[in-house]
Amino acid sequence: MEKPRIEPPSRRPRGNQPTRRSSKDNPDVCVEFPGLVTRESCCRFTCELLKHILHQRHQLPLPYEQLLNFCRVQQDNDEVVRRPIKEASDSRQCQRTLSDLAELISQLEIFFTLTPVPRVLLLLGGSPVSPKEMYVIDMEGIQVGNGNESLSPRPCLRQLFRALFMADPFSEQRSTGLMSLVLMVQGHRDCSTEWFRPKLNYKVPTRSNTLTIKLSSSEAETTTYHSDDYIWFQAPITLKGFQN
């Protein structure tokens, strides 16, 4: 009898091809950019993922940009027509959430100018020590360059969201009610941030439902982050989702 043929294991694709390595409980979405990336681009990746995850996990009723336009129209209408109490309350809640999110994004932009950022945690529900869901943006593998030698953020964002679309990590997650979101960001202990609060003894949760998004560069060199020099900082704003 002829022996069955055993195929060799496939190799991990490189370059622009997004990959997903996953276990049933803790999937990874891995994206390798074909070159250097600026800190500003890393900040933009973080902010766009924050907005995307809030919408995908039903904490925002619309994508961020659509919601922003909707609230502006509602605010203009409120100045002309007096709204019922329920509608007025929803409008105020929408504006408060968007205001907090805008403040968080603005402070993240400052933070990324002060220090390299190896990782960001988006913690949904529960508490920062024991969240219901945790989204890890892992940027330790990114090689940072200046604006002249680095990739444009737009194609990198397309590559990132193409990888998320192909991996489809949110389809298997159950729909949940409203949850609060806490953001933790890792940076150099001497970065002199005035807004984020240092959390010297913070330990990354290990038992929550976790999605890790690993971003890296195809460049050979990688940055080394010494654990003694980098600590966790917590945003003083807790984002509260809303639905209408």
- Give residue 13's pLDDT: 38
- For residues 187 and 61, the model is more confident at 187
Give phi and psi for 32, each to the nearest 5: -110, 115
- Give residue 78's pLDDT: 55
- Give residue 6's pLDDT: 39
- Give residue 241's pLDDT: 83
The count of residues in the chain is 244
- Give residue 12's pLDDT: 37
Neighbours of 239 (CB within 10 A): 21
Query: Is the pTM of the predicted complex or chain greater than 0.85?
Result: no
When pLDDT is cut at 50, 70 and 90, the band that residue 220 belongs to is low
For 19-222+231-240, which CATH class?
alpha beta
- Give residue 130's pLDDT: 94
Q: Is 219 exposed, middle or buried (0-12, 13-18, 19+ CB in 10 A)?
A: middle
> Is-contact 214 30, C-beta < 8 A?
yes
When pLDDT is cut at 50, 70 and 90, the band that residue 201 belongs to is very high
**Contacts made by residues 11-17, CB under 8 angstroms, sequence distance 24+:** 14/218, 15/218, 16/159
What is the tens place of the pLDDT at every residue in 42-89?
A: 999 999 999 999 999 999 988 898 888 877 776 655 554 455 445 545
Percent of the chain with pLDDT over 90: 59
- DSSP string across 14-56: -TT--EEEE-SSSEEEEEEESS-B-HHHHHHHHHHHHHHHHHH
- Give residue 77's pLDDT: 59
- Give residue 1's pLDDT: 44
User: Worst-scoring range by mean pLDDT, 133-147, 163-177, 216-230?
Assistant: 216-230
User: Worst-scoring range by mean pLDDT, 5-9, 68-72, 194-198, 221-225?
Assistant: 5-9
Distance CA 31, CA 44 (A): 15
Query: Distance of alpha carbon 24 from its chain centroid, rounded?
Result: 21
Helix (H, G, I), strand (E, B) or coil at 133: strand
- Give residue 19's pLDDT: 43
- Give residue 10's pLDDT: 38
When pLDDT is cut at 50, 70 and 90, the band that residue 196 belongs to is very high
